[in-house]
Amino acid sequence: MPIPDDVTPPRTYATASATGHGGGGTSVVHGTWEPAPASRWEDAFLTGNGRHGALVHGDPEDDRVIVTHHTLVRPNNPPAAAAPPRLAAALPALQDALLAGDPTAAAAFTDGRPLRWVRPFHPGFLTRVRRPPDIPALPVRRSVDFTTGVVSCLRRERRSEVFVSRADDVLVQYVTSPGPVVEIELDHRLPGVPADLEAGRGVATARGETVLTLRVRYPGSALGYTGLTLLLTDGGRTTVTASGLRVEGAGRLLLLTRVRSHTGDPDTTGETEALRALAGGGPPVDPEALHARLLARHTALHGTAYRRVTLDLGADEADRVLPGSALLRRPDSPALLERLFAAGRYHLLSSSGTHPPRLTGLWTGEWETAWSGAFTTDANLNLQTASAVVADLPEVTEAHAALLHRQVEDWRDNARAIFGTRGIVAPSHTDGISGHSYHFSRDYPLHLWTAGADWLLKPLLDDEEAHGRRDPRTSLLLRELALFYEDFLTRTGPDGRIAVVPSYSPENRPRGWSGGAAVNATMDVAAARHALRAAAERASAPDATRLGALAARLPEYRVNGDGALAEWAWAGLDDRYDHRHLSHLYPVWPLDEINPYDTPALAGAALRALELRGPENDSAHGHLHHGLVAARLGDAGRTGAALARVLTGDYFHDSLMSAHYPARDVYNADAAHTLPALLIEALVQSTPGRLVLLPAPPDRCPRGRLTGVRTRFGARLDLTWSPGAYRAVLHPDRDAEIDLRTPRGTSRLVLHAGEERTVDS
């Protein structure tokens, strides 16, 4: 049947932009705005290119921009303490004890070291452009345009625009009408800065250009970093002050900033020349023209990536014009979901480049970052990147892959030292540089968790399916992971099947056990089976047969006395339900191994497990993980409830970056980056052989349009829906025959490359 008239048609949205402020009646979806500067760094608007990041407070009188970089991690451990523990010789005894049912055996299976955190992520410094304040104070509008990555602030004729170039890897700050006098400085003294941090400032002038430098060295270390800012003006007089520069009579300022980590003395000459090369190599330089050139090169990359996928929920225009802080107080408004979806994709793209997003994305305004601002791979990184493939952000997948490939040798060290095997074992925490597994404790024996590599590889496999090509580097990682399992999976249980031991279900433990590691954690079983089967698909015939046979000997999943999928597939290990992690539902999401179509009985047990699961401490990642699993199981009510808990729990700052806990407690990117994935999963799901339309649409999304979604069978998809009606337009880039599941029923769908296909109710 045709789509009814009340469904929102495709449309172009006005946005907050470098030439507007998102208010004054202008509809805002692909941006956000506020009517005042940020008083807290958590509310500062964000921009980044996946290497450099910036937090922009948006105050024209004291224009403060916090500069960050993925490589800024502070030394905190001697090298020997940051190596994996050498426990392989004692592993057989541990396995014997766990198979015999000793609940305390794993608690002491360490080398005696205390808990050691990975190197903590920290901010670099502030760039400050200060002016005498207006008297009386005048209104300010600050905005961020998601389509360009430009953060703007305006007070009267004064304007400041900041973006971080994806093309030229430089932070660009452009200021017009700065006033008769401004002072400019670089300042590292942000909250929590170590008292004994060594820092020195410098100013150099040559060929009519001025460069500010800030050299920082960590206490007791040869490691450090250097910030450099090249200042260009359209005239006026520049003089050196005790803290930086004083500029008089300039009409326009352009600041180009980079930060570099290094060992020993930095190459400030080379870095300075690189910045000057961006400006054309020498004066005279027109700041306005150079700003326009840099912005055009950046938006050609950033804008193209951002615009690939959009969500329109037909929101009220009166809500769309609201500042973000006001819209957050309307959790039932479709306009809030539209803006959070857009902000989530924007922040995810902006924080992904040399690395994928950290716990804090690419941003922090203080030195004492929670959980070291690490990449945590037992849920957080995995959830944050969940939309990378389906929301068509290969930039995120590439950043994710780069992190894995850089750390392969360290992963081999983990396998040899802890388990005495070939192959690879991924850590649960990494600072982005070291891949060694050394963050663990008695209560959280994360060094014994073996499923991490499979979960980290899953997005790369999804990306291969979506694009119809295999990456030989991914195949190599799969072969290495299969080698680990061949060496590790040597013990059996009473039924003759393989026993995965030791086995850890992050970050839970069986009821009554004092040690977290046990036998046959469901997640470990699922990861091993998935990895072995994926490796077998790429192996030669003899190897494929051997790996397939090993996978077939893994234990079946267990349904406990409550009718729920058990967290441990081992008799006598009872579940603790009130927990933020849902590790045992890994076969549902992200694996698709348990689903309502192929394994309905196990899907029912998984849904029962979800019903019994409590929120524990209300971590945002737990709620969204719950929603993703519910969506895979086709439970729209639970999907919507999980979404509602995040929208009503005060998890979002005015910046639309999120917090880990309710009441905006602990700056954390989990909710911001994962929310787009949850919305897409509720509306569209795909595997290489299946497409599911509207599997679990939340009540707060009764109608809308989702465009540009990538499927794992090689087609882009645009979906329009309203109560009782839907239309999906597929644009396949290769032939495929798939199982189509819709609210109307099931059918087979044949697609031909280059031929548009429409499916509607």
- φ and ψ of 309, to 5 deg: -130, 135
User: pTM of the full predicted structure?
Assistant: 0.95
Q: What is the pLDDT of residue 204?
A: 87
SS3 content of the chain, % helix, strand, coil (to 5): 30, 25, 45
Q: What is the pLDDT of residue 2?
A: 33
Q: Considering only CA atoms, which of 661, 658, 705, 78 is closest in space to residue 360?
A: 658
CA–centroid distance for 536 within its chain: 30
Buried b (16+ CB within 10 A) or exposed e, 454-466: bbbbbbbbbbbbb
Give the H or E element holding residue 750: strand 745-751
Q: What is the pLDDT of residue 280?
A: 84
In angstroms, what CA-CA distances link 757 with 8, 266, 362, 466, 719? 20, 57, 40, 18, 12
CA distance 57 to 48: 15
Q: Considering only CA atoms, which of 423, 402, 401 is closest in space to residue 413?
A: 423
Q: Considering only CA atoms, which of 144, 153, 146 is closest in space to residue 174?
A: 153
Q: What is the pLDDT of residue 301?
A: 98
Q: How far apart are the first and last CA of the chain?
A: 5
718: β partners:
729
CA distance 448 to 501: 9
Give the H or E element holding residue 632: helix 620-632
Residue pLDDT, tens place only, 213-253: 999 999 999 999 999 999 999 999 999 998 999 999 999 99
Amino acid at residue number 559: V
C-alpha gyration radius of the chain: 27
Q: Is 760 exposed, middle or buried (0-12, 13-18, 19+ CB in 10 A)?
A: middle
Other residues' Cβ atoms within 10 Å of the Cβ of residue 408 = 17
* pLDDT less than 70: residues of the chain: 1-26, 134-137, 206-208, 281-283
Domains of the chain: 35-73+122-307 (2.70.98.50)
Q: Token match 């680990």: residue?
A: 484
